Every structure is written in C-alpha cells, then in structure tokens.
Chains A and B, each alone.
Chain A
Amino acid sequence: MTAAEAARVLTRRGLLISVAALLGLAGVYVLALGYTPVEARQGLAQKIFYLHVPAAWSALMAFSLVGITSGLYLWLQDPRLDRFAAASAEVGVAFSAVMLTTGPIWAKPIWGTWWTWDARLTLTLFLFFLFIGYLALRASVHDPAERARFSAVVGLLGMLLVPFIHLSVYLFRTLHPQPIVLKPSAPSLPPEMLRTLLISMLVFTALYVGLVTLRYGLGLAEDARDEATDVAG
C-alpha cells in the first residue's frame, strides 16, 4: 500500500470513529440531563463536570503521549513517532480549548469568578501555550529531520508539566477540588454520577483516537505530497 493510499484509509477511519464518538457525546448529554441527579449545592451548573473532566483527561493524555513518543523519536528516529506526536499535540490543544472554556463557565456560578491564578489553572494555561508554541515551531521549521528533533525536545519537556498539574491540588492551596476519581481511595461520587462520568471519559477517549487517526492520516498525506513535489522538482 502506498503512503497516499494509507493516508486515505486512515483519514476515512478517523472520520468514522470521530463521528461515532460525537454521537456518543449526544448520548452523554442525555445521561447527564436525564439520569444523573441535580447536585444540591451547585445546581445544574455541576453538570458541566461531565464535559470538563473528560476534556481535561483527554488533553493531559494527549500531551503525555506527545512526551512519550517524542522521547522514543529521539531514541529511534522513526518518523512515524514524530507524526504521531504532531497529531496528538494538535488534538490535545483542541481538548485543552474545551477544558479552558468549560472550566471558567463552571467556575463563575460556583466560585464567583471566571478565573483565579491558582497553581492548577495557571499550570494548565501554561501547558496550553506551550503546545501552541510547539505547533508554531513545527510550522516554522521546514527541514523534516530538524523539525522532528526540535519539536521532540519541546514535547518531552511539555510532558513534565502533566504530573505537576495532577498533583497541584495536593501541593498548593487552591480553589480546585481534590481528585474524586483518580485518587488512592475509592471514587467519592454517587453511582449515577460516576457511571456517567466514566462513559463520558470513554467517549472523549474514542474521540481522541478518531481525531488523532484522522490527523495522522493528514500528516501522512502531506508528507507523501511533499515527497512527490521534491521528486518532480
């Protein structure tokens, strides 16, 4: 199979998974609105939780995988690893945009402010800007090997922020609540809320897989086009 054919298969597969996941998101809305109880202190605004937490999960997973594949690229020099890192970084930025918009919309009615410069929010914003910089770096370096090496170093360093973001609620005084699912003891949520959250995390993970597959296929198609242009030139 040629690179152009593989790219076509991957983009089609990525589109199918993404559309299926978006339909799953509609199912999450039905569960969140019709199945989960209304939280007594926070009211309906608490239901933003079923979008905000899975978006944060997907973004942090995306950036962690950028770091891992970037480290592997520096070791193995396999262009597929670089292509995956580029795809995961871009999709991670999209999920970060969801996290950074739904967060303040939830914060306003509950905390009384759209934003506070506490450790978790500030580090998350820095991570978002860092990966915007990563994408800008990729767009500005034209030599593929150089671009892959420079961006792998940035991707690897960016991943180092992820554990600090997760642990920031333990390390610093913050308005952000402590983890309620990813913690050493059992999750502290009513079963309806926990089930809906887990389903939403599954849907967001599927959407991550679909978008990364599609973006990887696009990267492959661009590389095949560039190679064909070089041969023709």
Chain B
Amino acid sequence: MLPADPPQNAGYMVVAYIVAPVILVGYLAGLMRRVRRVVRK
C-alpha cells in the first residue's frame, strides 16, 4: 500500500541540484583557464 503523503526529503534534492552544476561549471571554467594559459604562451 502506498503511503498517504510522500516523505519530506526535499533538502537532499536541493543539495544534489546544486552540487551537479557546481562540478560541471567548475570543470568548464577550469578548461577555459587552461585554454587561456596555453594561448598566452
């Protein structure tokens, strides 16, 4: 039988939805920094 109300666990979703783009955007920013360093040389 399904529970009447879904469990209250939105905090976990919020953390995951922040962590994922931080990793991806951080990696993209790191790549761009490396590109600029190589181009400067």
Binding site for B on A (CB under 8 A): 8, 11, 15, 18, 22, 25, 29, 38-45, 47-48, 51-52, 55, 91, 94, 97-98, 101-102, 105-106, 108-109, 207, 211, 214-215, 217-218, 221-222, 225
Give the distance to chain B from A232, nearest Cβ to Cβ, in Å: 12
Note all chain B residues with C-beta closer than 8 A to A98.
19-20, 23-24
Closest 4 CB pairs of A and B: A43-B6, A43-B7, A109-B9, A45-B9
Question: When the two chains form their complex, are residues B41 and A225 in contact, meaning their CB atoms are under 8 A apart?
Answer: yes
Residue contact A109 to B15, C-beta cutoff 8 Å: no
Is the beta-carbon distance between B38 and A211 smaller than 8 angstroms?
Answer: no
Select one of A18, A43, A48, A51 contacting B8, CB under 8 A. Answer: A43
A-B contact pairs, 16 of them (CB 8 A): A15-B28, A22-B24, A22-B25, A43-B8, A44-B12, A45-B7, A45-B12, A98-B23, A101-B16, A101-B19, A102-B16, A102-B19, A108-B12, A214-B31, A218-B31, A221-B35
* B19 close to A43 (CB less than 8 A): no
- The listed residue with most B CB atoms (<10 A of its CB), out of A8, A43, A215, A217, is A43
B16 touches A51 (CB 8 A): yes
Known A-B contacts A48-B13, A102-B20; the reply to A39 vs B6 at CB < 8 A is yes
With A15-B32, A211-B31, A222-B38 known as contacts, the answer to whether A109 contacts B7 (CB < 8 A) is: yes
Whether the Cβ atoms of B10 and A44 lie closer than 8 Å is yes
Least Cβ distance of B3 to chain A in Å? 7
